[in-house]
Structure 1
Amino acid sequence: MKMRNPLVPAKTLATSLAAALLLAGCSMAPTYERPVAPVPQYFPNNPAQIAGQPATAQIAWQDYFTDPRLVGLINTALQNNRDLRVAVLNIETARSQFRITRSAQVPNLNLNAGGTRQRPSLLGNTVSESDYVNVGIPAWELDFFGRIQSLKDAALSQYLATEEARKATQISLVAAVATGWLAVIADEESMQITRDTLATREEGLRLSKLRFDNGVISEIDLRLAESLAESARATYAQQQRLRLQDENALALLLGTPVPPESIKGGLGALDAVAPMADVPAGLPSELLEQRPDIRAAEQQLLAANANIGAARANFFPRITLTATYGTASNELSGLFDSGTKAWSFAPSLVLPIFDYGANSARLDSAWANRDIALAQYEKSIQSAFREVADALAGRATLGDQLDALRKTALAEEARFKLSDLRYRNGVANALDLQDAQRSLFTAQLAATQTRLAQLQNQVTLFKALGGGWASRETAAAAPTTSQANQATR
């Protein structure tokens, strides 16, 4: 190994590294401009936004879902749900990958030590020896054309996309728990309606048997009463099955069995649920800042845009530096003696000349992936607009529908009472009474299901507007995407 004055190479190496750092980092990625949102300017069925109200995405979910039973279930799900755990672990994976990519911008420094013992000829007795200790920079690429910078930017966007995906997963989880819990409460209310109806029909069947035995009614009336009782019994069995299935689905979301006290219900159970706050829909453009899934899609678009820069840089020379500085000696005992200093400096340049179109194909692929990411970004905006518009349509109409069905149920209840009174006094026949029973039962169940749809629509609107990822602990302290971007860089 060549011997030199140790002070000269150190100064030369430092100067070379400084110059390389100043020259490196010219990005060849296309300038990014956020695409225009491919949706109308305003939501349909959207009242004017009230000034001063916070964006829905910034509302803590505890301030929206105020029923203490539901709050407890959501807390349990956030602690135990496996899908959310996977989303959090995906963030750690993406963060590690970003750190790996970023490390390529800084030269690695290794400590190398070694030695050899050899006898060149089997006939000779001379044994040669060589030992060395040095620190070195192994093959550090000077990023003149921004290839590594583009890869780092792509990795950063992927990391930020996984963070947004975690928020989107939490939003879906919170909404799913609320929707599932409301479904179980509605099941309990429907089962109570069916139990009351079954009791009424069984009592009617008992009276019909008594009247038939005394020759007051025909067998047709008896069989009709029996059919109605068995129909209610079959409906009740079906509701029990649905109730158990809904509870199983809720338990899967929670990651633990559902506490019985949190799902008790009965008549009026849905109306007893603590009300959810009304939320401002705002403008479609605000979804770009509120919905984590849209922000995640934009980060994927940014990553694809950065990959174009890396693909473009492949057409230009790639320069790497390898350098070492240390000591070398023919004897281990004299390894650190004066005059044993050694250094090496080995730059290299690789210029692609002919690769059978591989670099062109990589660039074409990068552009195609960017166009795919753009289409997916625009589709995420359109899907979000549709979800909000559907929820607003439900908010505008479900209240009127519920009011009409409840009035129908009250009218059918009055008709049933009158029909029962007329039947007991021999004025009306059994057919009129059974028809009133069926109509009342149907109207009561329809009112319950519509009330459930109204409450679940409120959950859907909150989710569609990006609500559910912020809590009271994180709403005030959560940084914006741009702040997180700057901090990570």
Structure 2
Amino acid sequence: MQRLSLSAAGLSRRMVLAAATTAFALAGCANYSGIKSDKQIVSPAQVESTQSLPAEGGQWPSLDWATQFGDPQLPKLIAEALDGSPSIAQAQARLAKASSYIESTRSALSPKVDASYSWNRELFSSNGLYPPPYGGTWYSENNALASASWDLDLWGKNRQRLGQAVSQAKAAEADVQQARVTLAASVASTYNQLAQLYALRDIAQREIRNREEISRITNGRVTAGLDTDVEKQTAVGNIATTRSNLSDLDGQITTTRYQLGALLGKGPDRGLQIAEPVLSAGVTGATVTLPDNLPADLVARRPDIVAARWQVEAAMHDVKEAKAEFFPDVNLSAGFGFDAFGWGRFLTSASRQAQFGPAVHLPIFDAGELRSQLKGRYADFDLDVANYNQTLINALTDAATQVSSIRSIDKQMGDAQRALDATTKAYQLATIRYKAGLTEQLQVLSADQNRLAAEQTVTTLKMNRRDMQIGLIKALGGGFDATQTALVVPGDAPVAAATSTQQNAAN
């Protein structure tokens, strides 16, 4: 019996060898000759940005960047949003789904073992295939079989599928980080908008008091015969207009609170519970300094770039898998069990059944299906490379735009503050002269309008600068760092050096 087993094992090896030899001989029947891609991902050094983003010795944003604005409520709101936002939950669900594919694809690399048992009760025909005593009699058939199979994956098709699943999961993980950065910046920006509306509301309230003061002066001048009812009604109309503007700001404040409630993943009533912002004014004037080596390091700091890079990696594996489809699949299978009529002889040696051997599948003529599939994979690869390149360019442009906007506002602030100081002095002098009967109401109103516009401009510039600071923090990755996680693509340094690897995979 042992000699028979050894002989069967030798036969199995010879069959595998014969199958592999045949496969190699026929491998040229279907081929991917002439199908390739010359697309390459762009490195930061290839994107001209050194003048726009110079090395200034600055620091990258930290994960607790919101604390720099001096309002303890803001970091708490961001933490609440990250904990309960549906957008984060959606990104995490996509990550969980992508991660589930890893286990299913990894299973293809291991042997499969199955077991089955069947029992059939059958009446055999007296005039059929089986003669008496089987014919015309009821019999029970028992069949038990344990089987195993193993795809040898000689050309790495299953390994490439696993690599593609891992890359997709990494991209989904980076997407989660991008969602977190985007949400945190959105909460901070909307919170800053709320602070701006409150600042404009304070200005409107002060303006109402100014207009009421002008109205009192006008009433005294009318009594003295220096002004007419025209000036009196003008003063009344100006007060009503300013109060209308105040009501409009109150409506915008409520709407912005609703938006914050939605960003927190709560209902609109949550937004109404938020206290009035007390963002620090000191950080607004802080000088912006960029980190050294910004373009090269940005690829590891921006989650959207990291996600795009993993999509390219996934496309590489797709291409390699499609290429492996042109080569033969070799599967080994074996089975052992028992098959017998009735129970008496079911588990005896005479009822044994066994099967083993390789199975080879080789594409010879498929009317171009495999070549078409490979072309499609290369098209996806080219698309992902183009998306990565565009994401990188957009990221560098985003950072440069935010820096330029901040520095432009810094230049405007000096002139805007001087204009406010001058128009405030002019308004005060015009009010004194109007009260003394030395000038007309129109001059006071004109001076007041100029002062109001200058004050609104200074306030808007300060708030816009803070908004640009938040935008720059987001443009620099919001504290994310792929080098501190498992999201750096193997072989990249940290991510930008993948051109040679990608090119080898694409051709």
Q: TM-score, structure 2 length as denominator?
A: 0.82
CA distance in 1, matches of 2:352, 2:2: 7
Partner SS state of residue 481, structure 1 = coil
Residue matched to 1:145 = 155
Residue matched to 1:337 = 348
Residue matched to 2:276 = 264
Residue matched to 2:178 = 168
Residue matched to 1:73 = 77
Deviation at 1:225, TM superposition (A): 2.2
Q: 2:463 matched to 1:455?
A: no
Residue matched to 1:481 = 488
CA distance in 1, matches of 2:7, 2:448: 100
- The C-alpha deviation readout for 1:144-166, integer Å capped at 9, x for no partner, is 22222222211111110000011
Q: Output the amino acid matched with 1:115.
A: W
| Cα-Cα RMSD | 3.6
Residue matched to 1:186 = 196
CA distance in 1, matches of 2:466, 2:87: 25
Q: Which moved more, 1:476-485 or 1:198-207?
A: 476-485
- Conserved 8 A contact 2:205-2:246: yes
Partner SS state of residue 112, structure 2 = coil
Q: 2:107 matched to 1:103?
A: yes
Deviation at 1:417, TM superposition (A): 1.2
- The C-alpha deviation readout for 1:413-461, integer Å capped at 9, x for no partner, is 2211111111100012101100111111111111111111111111111
Q: Output the amino acid matched with 2:225.
A: G
Residue matched to 1:36 = 43
- Conserved 8 A contact 2:12-2:357: no
Residue matched to 1:48 = 56
Partner SS state of residue 109, structure 2 = coil
CA distance in 2, matches of 1:9, 1:118: 37
CA distance in 1, matches of 2:431, 2:53: 44
Residue matched to 1:217 = 227
Residue matched to 2:314 = 303
Q: Which moved more, 1:257-266 or 1:454-463?
A: 257-266
Matches within 5 A, 1:400-411: 400-411=411-422
- The C-alpha deviation readout for 1:445-489, integer Å capped at 9, x for no partner, is 11111111111111111110112447xxxx99744524799xxxx
Q: 2:335 matched to 1:328?
A: no
CA distance in 2, matches of 1:17, 1:289: 51
Deviation at 1:95, TM superposition (A): 0.2
Relative to structure 1, the CA distance from residue 446 to residue 252 in structure 2 (aligned partners, 3 Å threshold; closer, same or farther) is same
Residue matched to 1:242 = 252
Q: 2:161 matched to 1:157?
A: no
- Conserved 8 A contact 2:300-2:483: no
Deviation at 1:332, TM superposition (A): 2.9
Relative to structure 1, the CA distance from residue 271 to residue 116 in structure 2 (aligned partners, 3 Å threshold; closer, same or farther) is same
Q: Which moved more, 1:446-455 or 1:9-18?
A: 9-18
Runs of 4+ in 1 over 6 A off after TM superposition: 3-6, 9-19, 28-33, 272-277
CA distance in 2, matches of 1:64, 1:224: 46
Deviation at 1:258, TM superposition (A): 4.0
- The C-alpha deviation readout for 1:160-203, integer Å capped at 9, x for no partner, is 00000110110001111111111111111110110110122133
Q: Which moved more, 1:461-470 or 1:389-398?
A: 461-470
- Conserved 8 A contact 2:170-2:487: no
Partner SS state of residue 101, structure 1 = helix
Deviation at 1:403, TM superposition (A): 3.2
Report % sequence identity.
23
Q: Which moved more, 1:425-434 or 1:460-469?
A: 460-469
Deviation at 1:352, TM superposition (A): 1.9
- The C-alpha deviation readout for 1:217-245, integer Å capped at 9, x for no partner, is 13443343234223312322221222122
Q: Output the amino acid matched with 2:121.
A: R
CA distance in 1, matches of 2:168, 2:404: 35
CA distance in 1, matches of 2:73, 2:12: 65
Q: Output the amino acid matched with 1:105.
A: L
Residue matched to 2:218 = 208
Deviation at 1:206, TM superposition (A): 4.2
Q: 2:145 matched to 1:134?
A: yes
Partner SS state of residue 344, structure 1 = strand
Deviation at 1:63, TM superposition (A): 5.8
CA distance in 2, matches of 1:409, 1:69: 31
Partner SS state of residue 439, structure 2 = coil
Q: Output the amino acid matched with 2:242.
A: A
Q: Output the amino acid matched with 2:50.
A: Y
Q: TM-score, structure 1 length as denominator?
A: 0.85
CA distance in 2, matches of 1:155, 1:398: 46
CA distance in 2, matches of 1:4, 1:122: 41
- Conserved 8 A contact 2:145-2:335: yes
Deviation at 1:4, TM superposition (A): 9.9
CA distance in 2, matches of 1:83, 1:216: 65
